[in-house]
């Protein structure tokens, strides 16, 4: 009898542990190591970068919207590299897109060719949180090119944050560069382009939100999404591929992988020497 009770409690403990594992995500296992930056020149040339460490967006399991519109890596794929110093994040992307730079004035930035960065500026944030807090950032970036000259736009989405602590949504309809001292450059490559950028971290702070200060060993929530529109007619919702996603089957909707509202689905970024 005693033994049976013992077994029962063991089974119960096991069931509880399993159900916990199923419900509470604490960021996904995918992690990117970001080396400390040396001298970075924002010119679209990545020879000063360590491009062996990267996030790759390159397969079907990562698609979260309009899977029927993905024709393979030449249509839409990306590698993302990150470096840091105490004041800045450096983010570079190698993007393959058969119809790049689709941009239209006045349209929401996240219905155009765009990239979305997701990051937490609080290394102590609970990785199991299922709602954004004021230190969780959804940053949409887009670019418009004409005759080799590029303009850069960003949109900071704070709509899903109950208390954004003085940092409200900005730049939703494009044609705005919300960040101060943001630097970027584009260089064409075979089948796509390289986008090199510097984001000063003071932009993600104010008198209520402490500035993130990267240091070796610090890990934050981080993720990346790419949106691809290939028609000259914007407003049609775009193909969307999310780094952290790994899904099966072809029934994909952003609602089924709600990374825009649930940070526990994000990957992570670790700053290293
Ligand atoms: Ca460079
Ligand atoms: Ca494309
Ligand atoms: Ca495109």
- How big is the chain, counted in residues? 273
**pLDDT level of residue 232 (50, 70, 90 thresholds):** confident
Does residue 140 register a pLDDT over 90? yes
Q: How far does residue 66's CA lie from ligand 1's centre (Å)?
A: 33
Q: How far is the CA of 97 from the centre of ligand 1 (A)?
A: 21
Instruction: Tell me: pLDDT of 202 over 50.
Output: yes
Give the pLDDT band (50/70/90) at residue 70: very high
Percent of the chain at pLDDT > 90 equals 81
Q: Quick check: 242 pLDDT over 60? A: yes
Structure tokens at 78: 């990306």
Q: Which ligand is nearest to the CA of 39?
A: 1
Q: How far is the CA of 210 from the centre of ligand 1 (A)?
A: 29
Output the CA 114–ligand 3 centroid distance in Å. Answer: 9
Range 27-272: architecture per CATH: Sandwich (2.60)
Residue 179 Cα to ligand 2 midpoint, Å, equals: 27
Residue 23 pLDDT: 42
Mean pLDDT, residues 248-266 taken together: 95
pLDDT at 14: 57
Distance from the alpha carbon of residue 268 to the mean position of ligand 3, in angstroms: 27
Residue-level pLDDT at 64 = 97
pLDDT, position 68: 93
Exposed / middle / buried, residue 178 (Cβ in 10 Å: 0-12, 13-18, 19+): middle
pLDDT in tens, 5-53: 666 666 655 555 544 444 457 999 999 999 999 999 999 999 999 999 9
Mean pLDDT of the chain: 92
Note the pLDDT tens digit of each residue in 170-194: 999 888 999 999 999 999 999 999 9
What's the gap in Å between 179 CA and the centre of ligand 3?
Answer: 24
Ligand closest to Cα of 231 equals 3
| Mean pLDDT of the region 214-226 | 98
């Amino acid at each position: 009898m005693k033994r049976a009770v013992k077994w029962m409690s063991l089974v119960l403990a096991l069931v509880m542990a399993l159900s916990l594992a199923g419900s509470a995500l604490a960021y996904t296992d995918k992690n990117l190591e970001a080396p400390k930056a040396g001298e970075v020149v924002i010119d679209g040339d990545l020879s000063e970068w360590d491009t062996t460490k990267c996030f790759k967006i390159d397969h079907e399991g990562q698609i979260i919207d309009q899977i029927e519109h993905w024709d393979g890596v030449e249509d839409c794929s990306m590698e993302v590299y990150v470096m840091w110093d105490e004041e800045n994040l450096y983010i570079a992307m190698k993007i393959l897109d058969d119809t790049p730079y689709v941009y239209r004035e006045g349209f929401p930035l996240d219905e155009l060719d765009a990239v979305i960065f997701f990051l937490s500026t609080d290394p102590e944030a609970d990785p199991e949180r299922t709602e954004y807090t004021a230190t969780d950032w959804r940053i949409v970036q887009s670019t418009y090119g004409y005759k080799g000259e590029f303009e850069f736009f960003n949109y900071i989405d704070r709509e899903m944050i109950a208390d954004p602590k003085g940092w409200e949504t900005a730049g939703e309809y494009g044609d705005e560069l919300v960040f101060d001292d943001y630097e970027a450059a584009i260089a064409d490559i075979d089948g796509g382009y390289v986008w090199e950028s510097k984001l000063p971290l003071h932009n993600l702070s104010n008198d209520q939100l402490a500035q993130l200060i990267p240091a070796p060993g610090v890990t934050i929530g981080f993720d990346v999404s790419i949106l691809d529109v290939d028609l000259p007619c914007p407003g049609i919702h775009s193909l969307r591929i999310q780094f952290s996603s790994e899904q099966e089957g072809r029934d994909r909707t952003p609602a089924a992988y709600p990374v825009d509202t649930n940070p526990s689905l994000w990957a992570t970024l670790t700053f290293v020497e």
